[in-house]
Amino acid sequence: MSEAKGSAALRIKLSDPTQLDKLLAFLAFDANAIVTRVADDEVELSFLGSLNVTAQMMESELRLRLWLSSHPDVIAVLHE
């Protein structure tokens, strides 16, 4: 069974919209990441290249956990 390939964008919704600019700046450091604000409290994240959906999800989760470790008062929800 092969995993699906593609560039499925994932969304990250924050409990505190005032922290969204900080998250955007953190995620945008990587030239291979495409980060787009889709709402006052939500961004869309996708990656250039040949990462499959599972790899993109794992990479997104790792980056989000790293950012949340410095922002313990913020709750974030990652979804497709």
Task: Return the pLDDT at 13.
Answer: 96
Task: Return the pLDDT at 8.
Answer: 67
What is the residue extent of each domain of the chain?
A: 10-79
**What does the pLDDT look like over 20-71, one tens digit per residue?**
999 999 998 888 889 999 999 999 998 888 778 888 888 889 999 999 999 9
Which CATH fold would you assign to the domain 10-79?
Alpha-Beta Plaits (3.30.70)
Report the alpha-carbon distance of residue 79 to residue 11 in Å, rounded.
Answer: 5
Task: Return the pLDDT at 56.
Answer: 85
Task: Return the pLDDT at 7.
Answer: 53
Mean pLDDT over each residue of the chain, to the nearest integer = 87
Structure tokens at 52: 């499959």
Distances (CA, A) of 79 to 1, 25, 73: 24, 20, 20
